[in-house]
Amino acid sequence: MRLTCPVCGERDRREFYYMGDAVALRRPDPEAGDAVWDDYLHNRDNPAGVTRDLWQHEGGCGAWIVVTRNTMTHEVLETALASDVKGSVG
Amino acid sequence: MRIAGKGLVDRQAPVSFRFDGHTYQGFAGDTLASALLANDIRVVARSFKYHRPRGVMGAGSEEANALVTIGSGAAQDPNVRATVQEIYEGLEARPQNCWPSLTVDLLSVNDLAAPFLGAGFYYKTFMWPRAFWEKLYEPVIRRSAGLGALSHQHNPDAYEKAFAFCDLLVIGGGPAGLIAALTAARAGADVILADEDSLFGGRLNGDVETVGGMPGAEWAQSIVDELEAMPNVRLMRRTTVTGAYDQGTYGALERVAHHLADRGGQPLECFWRIVARRAILCAGAIERPIAFRNNDRPGIMTASAVRTYLNRYGVAPGRRITLFANNDDAHRTARDLVDAGVHIAAVFDSRRDVPESNAYPIYRGAEVCNTSGRRGLESVTFRTASGEDKVETDCLAVSGGWNPSLHLTCHMNGRPQWSEAIQSFVPVEGMVPGLDTAGACRGTLTTHGALQEGVAAAQVALEALGIAFDKIDIPEAEDAPYRVSPLWAVAGKGRAWLDFQNDVTVKDVKQAAKENFASVEHMKRYTTQGMSPDQGKNSNVAALAVLADATGRGIPETGTTTFRPPFVPVSIAAMGAGAQGAGFAPQRFTTSHAASVERGAPMIEAGLWYRPSYFPAPGETTWRQSCDREVNMVRNAVGVCDVSTLGKIDIQGPDAGAFLDFVYTNMFSTLKVGRTRYGLMLREDGTVMDDGTTARLGETHFVMTTTTAAAGPVMRHLEYVHQCLCPELDVSMISVTEQWAQFAVAGPQSRALLNALVDEDINDDTWPFMGCGDIIIQGVRGRLFRISFSGEHAYEIAVPSRFGNGLFRELTARAEALGGGLYGMEALNVLRIEKGFITHAEIHGRVTAFDIGMERMVSQKKDCIGKTMSERPGLNGPEREQLVGLKPIGPVKQLTAGAHLFEKGAAPTRENAQGYTTSVGFSPTLDGFLGLGFLRNGRARHGEEVMMVDHLRNLTTRCKVCDPVFFDPEGGRVRG
Amino acid sequence: MAELLAKSPCEGLLPKEVDGLTLSEAKRATMTSLSPYRGQEAVLSDVLKTEHGMALPRPNRSAGKEGARAVWFGQRQVMLIGPDPAVSLADHAALTDQSDAWAVVLLEGEGAEDVLARLVPLDLRREHFKKGHTARSQLQHMMVSITRVGDARFQIMAFRSMAKTLVHELEIAMKGVAARRAS
Amino acid sequence: MRFSGWKVIKEGLTGNRGWSAHWRDAQPKPEYDMVIIGGGGHGLSTAYYLAKNHGMTNIAVLEKGYLGGGNVGRNTTIVRANYFLQGNSEFYSHSLKLWEGLEEDLNYNVMHSQRGLINLFHSDGQRDAFARRGNMMVNQGDDAILLDRDGVRKHLPYLDFEQTRFPIYGGLYHPRGGTARHDAVAWGYARGASDRGVDLVQNCEVTGIDIENGVVKGVQTTRGAIRAKKVGIIVAGRSGQVAAMAGRRLPIESHILQAFVTEGLKPVIDHVISFGMGHFYISQSDKGGLVFGGDLDFYASYAQRGNLPMKEHVMEAGMTLMPMIGKAKVLRSWGGIMDMTPDGSPIIDKMEGIDGLYIDCGWNYGGFKAVPASGWCMAHLMATDRPHEVAAKYRLDRFRTGIGIMDEEGTGSQHNLH
């Protein structure tokens, strides 16, 4: 498996660390309540299809990356720097 | 038997080798199989279950019968296909799965018991009495199962792994692959051409048909010569592409030195990770047998294998050969044999419309329905409309048609589709992105077709790569139609083999269907068909057809067959190359490593690091003596310990303080420059992630310390928090763990030691407790932190790592002069237990700030990672197990870590378990064992007596629950 | 007072020579990590140019030459190798001394790419990874920085504490390549 | 039909003509008391125990493919009861006891082989953690023995005790741990359930769950609508998709776990062994293949196949630990889809707010050995509407409340780290 790091280009999967759903970028307000926090930290859409998840190019430049990917085929549709994505969602 | 004038082997280069204890001769270019056949050796193996004698069946890597063991001693290599193993001078091969010998195998008694050993028999018996399974039935089954044996010794051979990159990977170097590679290479693409054979050419080497007017093998060689001269081509011989993976990654096994008597330092095998922008599969096809009664006798081979042995190796596998086929292609075998002067006794074809020949009798509409011969084929019985008859023969060439080698196209869950035309499965386009197919593997079974498709596939690839190409002339080649009429199993009594290796017969498949294992997956799992070393390459399609017949369905409705990597079995040593011994993970050495080893310190692993356990002094015979001395030394004089392995992270930027406030539970933006503060870090789920001290070296400059184990994870976490949660903060992190060698100097004499070493005057004003800053040490700019993990007046002193060794030796000498010295991990552990300081033994991933009594460190003035979730009801309160100290109070004085805690008098059961011990040590300071542990509602239970039970070490100790700080609870020493 | 003795990361481990391939330790140099502050990249680049003669390298590139080189080192990170950093750099970037953090070795000779192909999951073919190109990647299980500093010359940096493993892995690979060539 | 050695001999002598189907292939009826979605190990065992323990036979198991085609047919077949946290300890202990009587109970030889499991440790810290585990096992009434280095050497003399990267300090020996023939477990439960009247329906995919006013009414399938008073979702690997049919999100991320088998070899490994410094565990099947596995591929996936880095890592671990297996050749590798939860422990619970809907999911790595107890407890829950005492902690709401989180690995709420 290969992923395209927005900084380094296409690299072997072994250089990357995987964290999970990119929902992690949308951290709730501390006062949002336990259901919202439970959803944020635990519950997942877990799609059999296109998903967005968070990886770090740990064995490379260190960038955290949002990868848009298909969980059925492993096709990679898009990659973007997490800091850019976060910047755009606020 | 060798045939004069035939074959590509080098008759000028005789090679002697051993098989089954006898020495034989072959020629350079022979495989073990061809050389054995040349020597008229027929029985080379025994089957898996019935221990039936078996001979060579094919001529390729899919060989189901001729598996042998190569070599002896630690290097012995089991289950090697004789059809792939090239011979070399001194090669030693042995038969396997037989006892006492290949010819007399006692377990062939299984063959007589076959009626009781049908598909799945073991699910129905061996259940009584229960205890007999492990003691009797299973050991017997295990001993009789299995094929070859491992040596039971450490692998002595070198293996290697490598990466390669190319524009186009061509898998298989037959006519399609060669011309595809040539087309792409001439256009300038970076090409890798891999073939599992030692010789490129594929079937061309086993056939007599011409290509472009030349013998096929010569044409192949001419293409290889051209490719070899091109700088943009890498030819990989003896290299099997074993798997297709995501984004154009392929695994490939190169058998580097299996064919060499002298490897000259080369590895035995190399496992390649090939990244290809495009790939073309040109893997050819595999001829399939036909199932009929006793179709497994030595001497019964595939028709193409017989042809290959004749044309490539100059070997006739028999003197009176018969042929049984259902397609035109196979008749070429009879033709070639006759041309070479070998006697053809008869040709049986199940069809009526069959190619003519005057050279041998042809039986139309005929089926072979039985064979005989004790240790090899002696005769076959055949059936025609006019009844049964028998023909004497020592070799039967069988062809049930061809199955495309489409395996790689299925490696990403793709399913092939059924082709009525060739009565087999063919690949579906796009099953592996970027992989096209050409030639026989896509069902095109003529050389002309293969060449045409090879060029076409290359052109498709080049277009996708954006590389311009010129027209390429396709040489003239054989283009006879492949006519096949389905014949899977000849009707009749007795056992007809489908999966030769696993001894799965037509009966077994039918039996499975009858017992409702009617889906193909159930049938395979129930009968074990397709699970043998050939992975069903020889049997899957036929077994599916038999199952379809048994269940009254068509083949496509019955199911498809799928394939998983690897295409051929791959040794664990190849894919795991480099890891044997210490290679599994990098070793990390501190700058004081050599000095510690000189002192006789046993070095222990701490993650990837090595740290000294203790420093034995003359006369000390146990680690405890050393440890006690070292603890006393720190408490009474001064000790030195390398703490460089702790993670150190440089954090800089205008928002560094704000950032730290967010990742730590407590405030750091308020920390004064020149001061250090203990910090607690949570995961977002509210449990403790790590702890450590962070120093503020400047207004916008901090240095964070992590535990050794968490250095990597914390660095990743910080980057995560910054990049993913608060990228707006202007802050940057970089690890400085490696930059600084850092040593703890601890004990009442620590200040005296340092004052003699540095120019600056160290006192409580210049370096108060938790003070930090730059300092010059013998001309070297370093850093000094007044922090303590021992509870003593202590410092950590850091210098750039190149000076680490020098400073360590200097500190050691000075400490010893003051009555102190070095201390290791054991003493460090006792010192911190005495003080109730926690490590990852306590913060093991399930504890909260509340559990360790630090809930007040979670600042209420700000948000931080983990704060919200740490407030969940289940993470707080009296039900939680809380950190406590434990002291033995009864006659048993010993404590152990990993024991459980119970109320006094309670039975030591799970229901009664109230906690457990995490760290224990003998405190020479307090003259007794001390323990840290977690106890339900423990903070409210100080003074209570509990029972520590360690079933595993047979220990029950009465303990008093106390505060985890055993020594100097007021903390006077650290400030004094 | 005696000065503290300095030890290089690969002391006692290098040099190695196998069939025309050489592995040696780079000359000790000051190494400073530069992490530009927000929005300061352009200014930092100018200052770097003025003070040390090279602009801030783009990702996956190095600038300068032997003795004064700036090697891109990761997300918002450049390693200045050689000169002591000009004080004015600190106005625009976080500076961190890394002189002692890395073992720096040079692999040189025909077939150097083949040696690295046994250890590194990077496409280092000459036309794809040219002189001046650099990458952060892994060598076996070690994080490394690899820069092509000559036609057949690579600078490889790994954590100082891993110097022994680094040298060991490279030496095995060098021997492997040599053995293949000999056969 | 009762299976026995006598029967095998009798049939062998009479041409094996008397064997019949192991289970009945049923056509779905329009209505059942209960419907189990999922014909894997857990679904089949649930149906079996509903019938056997609770006398409920008007039930159907709906399987979209073939019975036992999920993780029960693609795992490394390890059976053990070596957990240390309350909740897991009693559950797996119960499961192991059921395993020990399974063959007699099912009259099916699932080849449960208690050959002993040894978890190796490589530091003092790991030893202490394993001691805690082993002590809990004994607290629970199970068996555990702490071996030192020499003790391990006696059992496993072929390990690399000298050169390996992470020296072996000792091992936690669990003599009752072992393996079983995975497919046979599914078939045995299928046969047992079918014999008791349960309808097993293959090639029947559930496409919707009918819920009216918070009450389950039945399911929609590719073979028509089926009414049912109670519906159990037991579809590890696809739990998220099926729960979504009921409008629920689960605390689950799906991951691939690869496993490997080599060509058949003469007996060489007699135990189940696990490495403590990198995921690697191995045993040898009765057929002679070395069966081994490692860690997840770590990225969410439903592809049932893995990639090279983890394959290599697993084999590297094997080579540093037991270099004698170097010349064993891997024949086949495959991937199972793991329901990974935030604490690595499973869920057997009612679906809060929907009467009659139950879920059994989140088995992480541990599903195979749990098959008997999972079915036992899920059956109890579905039949009585009360959790079974050994599965009472497998609640769905524990993540929200923080009460009873069972994080054996201590890696926290990141799903793929368990």
Q: What is the pLDDT of residues B489-521, one digit of tens each?
A: 999 999 999 999 999 999 999 999 999 999 999
Mean of all residue pLDDT scores within chain B: 97
Inform me whether the pLDDT recorded for B559 exceeds 90. Answer: no
Tell how many helices (H) and how many strands (E) occur in chain A.
2, 6
The confidence score (pLDDT) of residue B383 equals: 97
Q: Are B682 and B864 in contact (CB under 8 A)?
A: yes
Total domains, chain A: 1
- Report the percentage of chain B scoring pLDDT > 70: 100
| A18 reaches D (C-beta below 8 A) | yes
Nearest to A41 among B245, B249, B869 (CB): B869
d(CA B363, CA B365): 7
Q: Are D104 and B117 in contact (CB under 8 A)?
A: no
Touching partners of D (3+ C-beta pairs < 8 Å): A, B
B913-925 pLDDT, tens per residue?
999 999 999 999 9
Cα distances (angstroms) measured from residue C170 to each of B366, C118, C124:
64, 9, 16
How far is the alpha carbon of A42 from chain C, nearest alpha carbon, in Å?
Answer: 30
How many A-B residue pairs are in contact by the CB < 8 A criterion?
63
Query: Could you tell me the pLDDT band of residue B374, with boundaries at 50, 70 and 90?
Result: confident
Interface contact A42-D299, CB threshold 8 A = no
d(CA B307, CA B330): 9
D214-261 pLDDT, tens per residue?
999 999 999 999 999 999 999 999 999 999 999 999 999 999 999 999
Residues of B whose CB is below 8 A from D403: 872-874
Interface contact B685-A41, CB threshold 8 A = yes
Which CATH number characterizes residue A29's domain? 3.30.2270.10
Touching partners of C (3+ C-beta pairs < 8 Å): A, B
**Taking the alpha carbons of B130, B132, B135, B138 in that order, is the dihedral positive or negative?**
negative
Residues of A whose CB is below 8 A from D240: 44-48
Interface contact C164-B587, CB threshold 8 A = yes
Interface test with B, best of C5, C97, C127, C161 (most B CBs within 10 A): C161
| A11 reaches B (C-beta below 8 A) | no
- Domain residue ranges in chain D: 24-77+183-251+343-417, 114-177+254-340
Interface contact C180-B586, CB threshold 8 A = no
Query: Could you tell me the pLDDT band of residue A89, with boundaries at 50, 70 and 90?
Result: low
B684 backbone φψ class: left, alpha, beta (φ>0; ψ -120 to 50): alpha
Interface contact D109-B517, CB threshold 8 A = no
Burial (CB count <10 Å: 0-12, 13-18, 19+), residue B75 = middle
Interface test with D, best of B141, B154, B160 (most D CBs within 10 A): B154
The confidence score (pLDDT) of residue B128 equals: 84
The confidence score (pLDDT) of residue B131 equals: 85
How many B-D residue pairs are in contact by the CB < 8 A criterion?
372
| A89 reaches D (C-beta below 8 A) | no
The confidence score (pLDDT) of residue C8 equals: 97
d(CA D214, CA D354): 5
Pick from D357, D34, D68, D63: which is nearest to D197 by CA? D34
Residues of D whose CB is below 8 A from A57: none
Residues of C whose CB is below 8 A from B578: 140, 169, 172
Tell how many helices (H) and how many strands (E) occur in chain B.
23, 50
The confidence score (pLDDT) of residue C1 equals: 47
Interface contact C138-A15, CB threshold 8 A = yes
D54-104 pLDDT, tens per residue?
999 999 999 999 999 999 999 999 999 999 999 999 999 999 999 999 999
Nearest to C1 among B587, B778, B804 (CB): B778
| A71 reaches B (C-beta below 8 A) | no
Q: Count CB neighbours of B710 within 10 A.
A: 21
A15-70 pLDDT, tens per residue?
999 999 999 999 999 999 999 999 999 999 999 999 999 999 999 999 999 999 99
| A53 reaches B (C-beta below 8 A) | no
Tell me what the mean pLDDT of segment B532-539 comes to. 94
Q: How many CA atoms lie within 13 A of B294 on its CB side?
A: 22
The answer to whether domain D24-77+183-251+343-417 has CATH 3.50.50.60 is yes
Q: Rounded to 10 degrees, what is the CA torsion of B597, B598, B602, B604? A: -10
Cα distances (angstroms) measured from residue C105 to each of B154, C22, C118, C156, D111:
33, 10, 17, 5, 56
Query: Scanning every residue of chain A, which has its alpha carbon at the shortest distance from the alpha carbon of B872?
Result: A34
Residues of D whose CB is below 8 A from B161: 312
Interface contact B516-D21, CB threshold 8 A = yes
Buried b (16+ CB within 10 A) or exposed e, B423-452: bbbbbbeebbebbbbbbbbbbbbbbbbbbb
Tell me what the mean pLDDT of segment C115-141 comes to. 97
- Residues 86-105 on C with a CB inside 8 Å of B are 94, 96-102
Q: Which residue has the tokens 């036309």?
A: C127
| C161 reaches B (C-beta below 8 A) | yes
Q: Are B785 and B796 in contact (CB under 8 A)?
A: yes
| C74 reaches A (C-beta below 8 A) | yes
Q: Catalogue all structural domains in chain B, each as residue range(s) with its CATH number.
A: 10-111 (3.10.20.440), 159-285+404-465 (3.50.50.60), 286-402+483-558 (3.50.50.60), 593-645+739-832 (3.30.1360.120), 647-735 (3.30.70.1400), 877-976 (2.40.30.110)
| B434 reaches D (C-beta below 8 A) | no
Interface contact D266-B143, CB threshold 8 A = yes
HEC readout, B427-439: CCCCCCCCEEECH
Inform me whether the pLDDT recorded for B451 exceeds 80. Answer: yes
Interface contact A12-B249, CB threshold 8 A = yes
B160-176 pLDDT, tens per residue?
999 999 999 999 999 99
Interface contact C137-A60, CB threshold 8 A = yes
Q: Are B144 and D287 in contact (CB under 8 A)?
A: no
Inform me whether the pLDDT recorded for C2 exceeds 80. Answer: no
Interface contact B734-C35, CB threshold 8 A = yes
The confidence score (pLDDT) of residue B130 equals: 84
Q: Are B565 and D333 in contact (CB under 8 A)?
A: yes
Inform me whether the pLDDT recorded for B786 exceeds 90. Answer: yes
- DSSP lists the bridge partners of residue B679 as B692
- Residue D29 token pair: 């009826």
d(CA B838, CA B829): 10
Tell me what the mean pLDDT of segment B682-708 comes to. 98
How far is the alpha carbon of B864 from chain A, nearest alpha carbon, in Å?
Answer: 9
Tell me what the mean pLDDT of segment B25-40 comes to. 98
CATH classification (class only), D114-177+254-340? alpha beta
How far is the alpha carbon of A14 from chain C, nearest alpha carbon, in Å?
Answer: 8
Which residue type does B458 have?
A
- DSSP lists the bridge partners of residue B741 as B799
Helix, strand or coil for residue D9? helix
Interface contact C74-A62, CB threshold 8 A = yes
* E strand segments, D38-187: 59-62, 78-79, 117-121, 145-148, 170-174, 178-179
Q: Is the peptide bond before D346 cis (omega within 30 degrees of 0)?
A: no
| C27 reaches B (C-beta below 8 A) | no
Q: Catalogue all structural domains in chain C, each as residue range(s) with its CATH number.
A: 16-27+100-182 (3.30.1360.120), 30-97 (3.30.70)
Report ipTM (2 d.p.).
0.98
d(CA D221, CA B723): 45
Interface contact C137-A59, CB threshold 8 A = yes
Interface contact D300-A34, CB threshold 8 A = no
Interface test with B, best of D187, D313, D329 (most B CBs within 10 A): D329
Interface contact B872-A34, CB threshold 8 A = yes
Q: Count CB neighbours of B333 within 10 A.
A: 30
Domains D24-77+183-251+343-417 and D114-177+254-340 share a fold: no
The confidence score (pLDDT) of residue D278 equals: 84
d(CA C106, CA C149): 9
Residues of A whose CB is below 8 A from C59: 7-8, 61
B609-653 pLDDT, tens per residue?
999 999 999 999 999 999 999 999 999 999 999 999 999 999 999
Which domain covers residue A85, as residue numbers? 2-89
What is the bridge-based pairing of β-strands B395-399 and B300-302?
A: parallel
- Give the end-to-end CA distance of chain B in Å, rounded to a whole number: 95
The confidence score (pLDDT) of residue A90 equals: 46
The confidence score (pLDDT) of residue D334 equals: 92
